[in-house]
Amino acid sequence: MNFEMSAEHEAFRRVVREFAEAEIAPFAVEWDRDHRFPLETVRKMGDLGLFGLPFPDEYGGSGSGLLTLCLAIEEVARVDASLAITLEAGVSLGASPIFRFGTEEQKARWLPDLVAGRALGAFGLTEPEAGSDAGATRTRAELQGDEWVLNGEKVFITNSGTPLTSLVTVTARTGPAEISAIIVPAGTPGLVVEPAYRKMGWHASDTHGLRFEDCRVPAANLLGERGRGFRQFLAILDEGRVAIAAMAVGMAQGCLEQSVAYAGERQAFGQPIGANQGVAFRCADMAVAVDAARLLTYRAAWLRDEGKPFRREAAVAKLYASEIAVDATRHATQIFGGYGYVDETPVSRFYRDAKVLEIGEGTSEIQRLVIARGLGLPL
C-alpha cells in the first residue's frame, strides 16, 4: 500500500493551484456578486487541458484518469466552487456520457470540442417530479420516421445555457418501461432554455430549466442502447460522485487554510484568537475531516482508475466529503466572526456554495441508501 502521490500528480497539482490562484481567486468575489459565468476563464481552463483529463489523446485528451481530474477539481474548488462545478459537470456529465456510450460518429462529432473546453455538454436527468426518484422520468421521446420527438421538462441543469453549450444529453421515456438517453444539440428548435435560476450559491455557474416542445432530433442521436438510459446514468453518476467529493475536499481545504491564517492574525483580548483552544481545536477537527475525506475520495478515484468496482466507495466519499465541507464552511464562518458574514470574505461565499454538495448528483440520503443496500439491508 502506498499513500504517496506520484511526482507527476504533485507537479500537476502545483500547475492547477498556480492557475487557480492567478486566474480564478482574484475575480471570484466579483463573478459571485454579478452572477456572471466567466466564459474567458472557462476557455483558459480548456487551454490548460482540464476538460480533457480523463479522455484519450485521440480526442485531444491526456488519458490521465479520474484521480487526476479529482486533483484539478479539488484545486479549483479550493478557491471557487462555481468554476469547479463547471469543470466537474462539463467532464463528468457533459463529455463522459458521449465518451462511454457514444458511437464512433457521435464521439468524433462532439468530443474534440468538449475535451478542449471549446464546448460544454450538459446532462438533463432531473425533472420537476423526478429527482432522487429518477426512474419516474416523464419526458417522452417518440420515434417518428427517422427522428425522435421529445416532449417534457427538465430542471436544474448545469451548463445548459452558456454560450459554450453544445449539447444536452436527455433521459426520456421511449416506451412504457423504457428510459433512453438522447443527445439534443443546443439550439435545436423546440428546446427552450428557461432563464437562469437565482441560486443560494454557485452564482457563477450556469443552471437552467429546459423544456422540450415537439423537439426533433435525428434517430441517430440515441446515446447507447435504447432502454439502457437508466443504467447508463447510474454509471455516469458513480464517477460524478467521486468528482463532487473532490470538490468538497477542495472547499474544505480552502476553509481550513483561511481559518488557520485568520486565527493567527486576528487579535482579541490581547492575543490571536487562535491562542484559544475553542478556535484552535475547531481548526484541528477541520484538518482531520479534510484528511479523511481526501483519503476516501482518492481511494474511490483510484479504484475507478484500476478498473475495480467503486460504486459503494463513491457513495461513501461523496456522503462524507460533502457533509464535512458543509461543516467546514460553518466553522470557518464562525472563526471569521462578523467578517465571515459579508460577501467580500471568501468563507461567506463558501458557506453558501457548499450546501448543494449534499444535494446534487444524489442527495446525502440517496448515498446512505446506496451504502445501506451494500450492507445487505432490505431498502
On the CB side of 83, how many CA atoms lie within 13 Å of its CA? 33
DSSP-H helix ranges across the chain: 7-19, 28-34, 39-47, 66-77, 81-88, 96-101, 104-116, 229-265, 277-305, 311-335, 346-354, 364-374
Query: Is the distance from CB of 114 to CB of 95 less than 8 angstroms?
Result: yes
Is residue 54 involved in binding ligand FAD (CB under 6 A)?
no
Is residue 70 involved in binding ligand FAD (CB under 6 A)?
no
Which residues on adjacent β-strands are paired with residue 212?
A: 152, 191
Residue with cell 485528451: 61
Tell me how far, at minimum, the Cβ of 27 lies from ligand FAD, in Å. Answer: 21
Is residue 283 involved in binding ligand FAD (CB under 6 A)?
no
Is residue 157 involved in binding ligand FAD (CB under 6 A)?
yes
Is residue 96 involved in binding ligand FAD (CB under 6 A)?
no
Decide whether 279 or 356 has the Cβ nearer to ligand FAD: 356
* Cell numbers at 37, concatenated: 459565468
Who's near 196: CB < 8 A, 6+ residues apart?
35, 161, 206, 207, 208
- Print the SS3 string covering 136-149: HCCCEEEEECCEEE
Tell me how far, at minimum, the Cβ of 316 lies from ligand FAD, in Å. Answer: 17
Give me Rg for the CA atoms of the chain: 21
Tell me how far, at minimum, the Cβ of 356 lies from ligand FAD, in Å. Answer: 5
* x-or-dash string of contact with ligand FAD, 100-139, rule CB under 6 A: ----------------------xxxxx----xx-------
- Which of 231, 299, 363, 373 lies at the binding interface for ligand FAD (CB under 6 A)? 363
Active site annotation includes 361: yes
Decide whether 113 or 358 has the Cβ nearer to ligand FAD: 358
Contact set with ligand FAD (CB under 6 A):
89, 93, 122-126, 131-132, 156-158, 199, 202, 207, 356, 359-361, 363, 365-366, 369
Catalytic residue numbers read 361
